[in-house]
């Protein structure tokens, strides 16, 4: 098998959560470009269908399932539909998430729990639902955050805590499932990317990051994360499990 063939996802079925916009949508389209059949999951049906149409227009096969990953039954439904329609699940990209920036003394219990439920509990629910339908050689890629490993000037207790939890979950699922089930589990820690989520931040904050924290001198673009996801999802990373791969333009160095 050539080097390029090891990066191919031809014949694989990939589930991507949070696939209706931003990084999730870009990752889904690019995995389809690498040959994967896609199952897209997100809460916004209209935007989800637009991504599905883009993949089909490129010649890919995909299904779109409206789901909230913080609801266990929704996760089970996504996994069941993927397996029923396409036979198995070879790749799971746990991308669904929400950011928040609220001072800790003003953050309510409901606000804190909502972030943790979606970012951390949802990652666990989806992993649990898919694992029993994943053959040996499969891969789970969890999208965490560089803020699981550092701070970046905003008050983000709920978000940082939830993403740090994703890293702990990644390590533990890797130790449980890699040897026993043949499922590799890894995480990516993105820095600041230009997405719908970060578009709500003040321009002065973006300038601070670019000038003082990000060695690359700019925010990342969604397509720049796809290569890392493809690597961890493919046979090119067959001996990689339990790791955290930063894709942050040098944020963690500063």
Do the Cβ atoms of 187 and 166 come closer than 8 Å? Answer: yes
Whole-number Cα distances in Å, 179 to 129, 176, 185, 239, 242: 19, 7, 11, 11, 12
Rounded Cα distance between 42 and 50, Å, is: 12
Query: Cα(241)–Cα(177) distance, rounded to whole angstroms?
Result: 10
159 annotated active-site:
yes
Q: Which of 159, 201, 205, 239 is catalytic?
A: 159
Farthest CA pair distance, the chain: 56
Angle between helices 22-33 and 223-233 (to 10 degrees): 50
**Residue 15's beta-bridge partner residues?**
39, 92
For the annotated catalytic residues, the residue numbers are 159
């Amino acid at each position: 098998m050539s080097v390029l063939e090891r990066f191919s996802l031809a014949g694989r079925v990939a589930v991507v959560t949070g696939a209706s916009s931003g990084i999730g949508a870009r990752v889904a389209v690019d995995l389809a470009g690498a040959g994967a059949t896609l199952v897209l999951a997100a809460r916004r049906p209209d935007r989800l269908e637009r991504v599905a149409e883009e993949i089909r227009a490129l010649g890919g096969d995909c299904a779109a399932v409206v789901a909230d990953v913080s609801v266990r039954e929704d996760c089970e439904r996504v996994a069941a539909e993927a397996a029923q329609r396409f036979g198995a699940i070879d790749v799971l990209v746990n991308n669904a998430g929400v950011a928040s920036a609220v001072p800790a003394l003003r953050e309510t219990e409901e606000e804190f729990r909502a972030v943790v439920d979606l970012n951390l509990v949802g990652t666990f629910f989806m992993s649990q639902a898919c694992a029993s339908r994943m053959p040996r050689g499969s891969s789970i890629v969890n999208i965490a955050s560089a803020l699981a490993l550092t701070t970046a000037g905003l008050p983000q207790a709920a978000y940082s805590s939830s993403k740090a939890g994703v890293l702990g979950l990644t390590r533990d699922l890797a130790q449980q499932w890699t040897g026993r089930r043949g499922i590799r589990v890894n995480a990516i820690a993105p820095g600041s990317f230009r997405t719908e989520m970060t578009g709500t931040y003040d321009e002065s904050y973006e300038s601070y990051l670019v000038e003082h924290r990000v060695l690359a001198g700019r925010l990342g673009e969604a397509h720049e994360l796809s290569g890392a996801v493809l690597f961890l999802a493919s046979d090119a990373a067959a001996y990689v499990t339990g790791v955290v791969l930063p894709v942050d333009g040098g944020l963690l160095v500063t």
